[in-house]
Amino acid sequence: MDKHVLLVEDEVNIIEAMRFLLTRDGWKVGTHSDGATAVSAIRDARPDLVVLDYMLPGKSGIEILTELRALPDFAGLPVLMLTARGQSRDRDLAERAGVNRFMTKPFSNAEVLNAVRDLVRA
């Protein structure tokens, strides 16, 4: 049975690329591009993994993650966070909020595929 990944990302081209890669890797890919409604989208979709952008319109990735971890059903949901800001303080914030993996853009395709596989297997 295919694993379900939800991409929360606002850059259309990055969504396009990730969808292509993950689909080819055997994932069932869902997308959502608005921060404000991301938490309910995740609750509805109940994915096996969330790939979360750091900067989203409406609500930041950190806020979304914090809210998510507060929900009992989603406290253990694997989350891969992607950021383009590249500041070390952001990584600290994300880790404190309970991120499973933190990656800075741009990344290699192999890198991101390895990361999602690791997260779901573990």
Query: Any contact of residue 23 with another protein (CB under 8 A)?
Result: no
Residue 58 CB neighbours (<10 A): 13
Q: Note whether 14 binds another protein by CB under 8 A.
A: yes
56 interacts with another protein by CB under 8 A: yes
| Cα–Cα nearest to 44, from 90, 95, 72, 6 | 6
Decide: helix, strand or coil at residue 57.
coil
Of 5, 18, 41, 93, which one interacts with another protein (CB under 8 A)? Answer: 18
Number of residues that bind another protein (CB under 8 A): 26
Residue ranges of the alpha helices (H) in 1-122?
A: 12-24, 38-45, 61-70, 88-97, 109-121
Restricting to residues 59-98, name those near another protein by CB under 8 A.
Answer: 84-87, 90
Q: Which residues pair with 51 in a beta bridge?
A: 7, 80
Contact status: 10 vs another protein (CB under 8 A): yes
Stretch that binds another protein, among 7-15, 39-47, 63-71, 91-99 (CB under 8 A): 7-15
What is the C-alpha to C-alpha distance for residues 44 and 83, in angstroms, rounded to an integer? 24
Which of 46/85 has CB closer to another protein? 85
Which residues of this protein are in contact with another protein, per CB under 8 A? 10-11, 13-14, 16-18, 20-21, 24, 33, 55-58, 84-87, 90, 104-109
